Amino acid sequence: MEDAIYNWLQIAVVFEARPDDLAAKETMDIFRGMLSTKFQISSIRYERDPLMYTVIYEKDGKEEKKTFDRNLVEKLISDIENNLLTVGLNTEK
């Protein structure tokens, strides 16, 4: 379950940064659906501070929390942005 929450969080952060990215939206929805059907998580959201992301979710009628290192969570969006910069630089030649 923790891996699924982490994957949802990473792609949710990508979608927040890239709201026009339909692939990110679809992937986020897939993970959200899996969290709901496989793990019976009824609501999920996240908060961030300078060091951590906290995912707050409801399971079995109880609120639960998991924390994740901010740098690890933001690695995916960083890789995407760096790849886009690299591709952009390569296409300008």
> For residues 76 and 32, what is the distance between their CA atoms, to the nearest angstrom?
18
- Tens-digit pLDDT profile for residues 46-56: 999 999 999 99
pTM: 0.86
- Tens-digit pLDDT profile for residues 58-85: 999 999 999 999 999 999 999 988 887 6
pLDDT of residue 88: 60
**Which residues, 6+ apart, have CB-to-CB distance to 86 below 8 Å?**
none
- Tens-digit pLDDT profile for residues 1-60: 999 999 999 999 999 999 999 999 999 999 999 999 999 999 999 999 999 999 999 999
Residue 52 phi/psi, 5-degree rounding, is -135, 160
> For residues 7 and 31, what is the distance between their CA atoms, to the nearest angstrom?
7
Rounded to the nearest 5 degrees, what angle is found at the Cα of 6, between the Cα atoms of 5 and 10? Answer: 120
> For residues 84 and 56, what is the distance between their CA atoms, to the nearest angstrom?
31
